[in-house]
Amino acid sequence: MIKDQEKRGIELNKLAVGTVIEAKTMNSLYRIRVLGGNRFEAKGGAYFPEPTEVSIPGSTWGGSMLKMNWVGVGMCIEFNPCTTTAVQTLKVIAPDGSWEYEL
């Protein structure tokens, strides 16, 4: 299982290549596509006006603690080299579009 309903987040290392995450933060909407091997393509916000290959080490609550391989509601996504504002909602779409869910 790739989501944890109690913690409201997604384990990045369990997502299939081609899966898309739509992360709505306080300020922006990011569309993140899984490329594999901790490689992602991100588009959205001021950081990524065009699709850009990035790595996502994990998420933080704004301090120095990093929850590795995780994107969570209420947390800030750590893209290399920038950090988003807190995630408000997450939507995950299967590579073939056959299913989706929201957190």
> What is the bridge-based pairing of β-strands 3-4 and 9-11?
antiparallel
pLDDT for residue 3 is more than 70: no
Whether 85 contacts 27, CB under 8 Å: yes
Q: What is the pLDDT of residue 81?
A: 79
* Distance in angstroms (rounded) separating the CA atoms of residues 66 and 70: 9
Q: Choose among 51, 53, 34, 42: nearest CA to 93.
A: 34
- In this prediction, what percent of the chain has a pLDDT beyond 90? 74
First and final C-alpha spacing in the chain: 14
What mean pLDDT is predicted for residues 52-68?
92
Q: What is the pLDDT of residue 89?
A: 96
Residue with tokens 């490329």: 35
